[in-house]
Copies of this chain bind each other. A is one copy, B any other.
Amino acid sequence: MARESDRVDTEAPRARRADARRNVEAILDAAVACLSRDPDASVVDIAAAASVGRVTLYGHFKTRAELIDAALVRTIQHADQILETTDTTGDPTEALTRLVASSWQIVDQFRNILVAAQRELPAERIRGVHDRVVRRIQSLLERGQRGGAFRTDLPKRWMVTTVISLMHAAAEDAAAGRVKVDQVPGLITATLLAAFTAPGAKVPAARPSA
């Protein structure tokens, strides 16, 4: 079935007026900001933060779910752009280090958006939206496996899960002040590089990325 929110980059048959487009942007910005602070932020909060009447908001997004979906898509696209500029070629261990450094920043900033989405949107929708970024991780892992840098005795799915879950866990620990933010990427990479080493092989030393 077709979703309205598929028109993310395609445009409606009739061009919308300039101020309308500006408002939609403001609403999405506000949504991202509010939901990042509080995943339970209400439509009222978001409309207020966007300096827009609540009714106006409903003019652009039929329901709260649709709004959150749009905010999620926007965030993911933003993230994907950043990851696009991250060099994932060369030595897989170093590439993983770079990828983790970039990804974690995003995860840390926007994880609450994901929380909001998980409460409002069906699970498969969320997976669908994350497809590109997951694929990015997966293909790096596969390349590392083919080159012998990463172990091949674990399912690829599980390795991806490991990467993602450690980044989220680190974000929570950082938010709770349990670890210092600037040392987080180092912790994640040091852990992942070891975790992805085959039994019997020697664990490579993690090198700082910055």
A residues at B contact (CB < 8 Å):
123, 151, 153-155, 157-158, 161-162, 164-166, 168-170, 173, 176, 178-179, 187, 190-206
A164 CB contacts on chain B under 8 angstroms? 169
Among B161, B196, B197, B201, point to the contact of A170 (Cβ < 8 A).
Answer: B161
Query: Shortest distance in angstroms between A201's beta carbon and chain B's nearest beta carbon?
Result: 6
Given contacts A165-B166, A173-B157, contact A200 B203 (CB under 8 A): yes
Query: Shortest distance in angstroms between A185's beta carbon and chain B's nearest beta carbon?
Result: 12
Query: Shortest distance in angstroms between A199's beta carbon and chain B's nearest beta carbon?
Result: 4
Among B158, B179, B201, B203, point to the contact of A158 (Cβ < 8 A).
Answer: B179
Knowing that A155-B179, A194-B195 are A-B contacts, what are 4 other residue pairs whose CB atoms are under 8 Å apart, sorted by A's residue number?
A157-B178, A158-B173, A158-B179, A158-B191
Cross-chain contact B165 with A168 (CB below 8 angstroms): yes
Cα A176 to Cα B151 in complex, Å, equals 24
Q: What are 6 A-B pairs at a CB distance below 8 A?
A: A151-B194, A154-B191, A155-B187, A162-B169, A162-B191, A201-B203
Cα A203 to Cα B204 in complex, Å, equals 11
Cross-chain contact B198 with A153 (CB below 8 angstroms): no
Q: Which residue of B lies closest to A201 (CB)?
A: B203
